[in-house]
Amino acid sequence: MQTDRSPPPDQAYESCRQLGVELSVADAKTLFNTEIKQFTVEAYKFGRTPNPCALCNAKVKLAVPFSMLTPGECLVTGHYAGNSAGILQRGRDPSKDQSYFLSLVPVEILSRCYFPLGESFKKDVRVEVLESGLCFVERESQDLCFQRTGAGVPGDVVDADGNIVGRHNGLDGYTPGQRKGFGAHNGRKYVIRLDILTNRLIIGEEQYLYSESCVLNNINWLMKPVEERFACMVQTRYRKKAVPADVSMNRDGTQAVVEFHDPQKAVAPGQVGVMFLSDSVIGGGIIDRYEGDTYA
């Protein structure tokens, strides 16, 4: 599938030729536009902070080639993650571990995946590829693989006391914890909430960013716990560390309340919340809302 940030087609064919493998191209543009691109744009409109990469892994990037497998075949990818007996685990390279982005992939797909780079460090892989003479893209993409288009609706910037202190250019350009893009306001201020009903961007001091709990929806269980309430580690963004929490799931397991042992900063609705036992992924869900707000 070709995206805005994909390598040129001729480079992909040359890499496969050098490796001695056949390249088959699957047309997933319509699926990607519907399930990922349109979904992401709509999520931003509703003041959420989606994670399109995690959704893409689950619905397109791994799902499409999985559907092409024949009995006895497995899906090999370059993700930095582990897969032990079908259990998704963190990759050995802590700076590139991608288990967070794979947490929404259904277990039936993961059970037939092989991640050969799970025990590798990316710096070593780069050296090995360069020494081999294979085609290699030096630039590393860590952003959306498609261009966001359209402007949001401008509205008021409001402080934690409800005072109008400025204007924003559209809520779709902000996320909780952000410190730039809304002007200077007498000291360091952060985005603490997006009020979609009034189209207000609420800013305040760092103290207002912390949440004691959050709710996970549409949970993809990879190892569903036997007990409805259990303790684990929870990661709420890719670059954040997993922290201790108590989790209480509903009867059918589609939703869970996460109570952090210590309040967490900038928990954003729309992001992925991933539950871990040691280095193994229990499951992942979408942060639908968070509690513990102390601002107006």
State the distance between the two ends of the chain, measured CA to CA, in whole angstroms: 45
Instruction: Tell me if 141 is assigned to some domain.
Output: no
Instruction: Tell me if 140 is assigned to some domain.
Output: no
More confident residue, 215 or 133: 215
247 residue type, one letter: V
Pick from 213, 216, 222, 214: nearest CA to 255: 216
What CATH number did the domain enclosing 176 receive? 2.30.30
Residues 95 and 69 placed together within one structural domain of the fold: yes
- pLDDT in the model for residue 7: 57
Domains held by the chain: number:
3
Residues 26 and 73 placed together within one structural domain of the fold: yes
Report the distance separating Cα 235 and Cα 223, nearest Å. 16
- pLDDT in the model for residue 294: 42
The residue segments making up the domain with residue 181 are: 155-204
More confident residue, 27 or 18: 27
- Dihedral sign of CA atoms 140, 270, 209, 191 in order: positive
Instruction: Tell me if 146 is assigned to some domain.
Output: no
More confident residue, 246 or 41: 246
Residues 235 and 199 placed together within one structural domain of the fold: no
Instruction: Supply the residues annotated as catalytic.
Output: 56, 145
Residues 194 and 214 placed together within one structural domain of the fold: no
- pLDDT in the model for residue 85: 76
Q: How confident is the model at residue 295 (pLDDT cuts 50, 70, 90)?
A: very low
The pTM is what?
0.89
- pLDDT in the model for residue 140: 67
Residues above pLDDT 90, as percent of the chain = 69
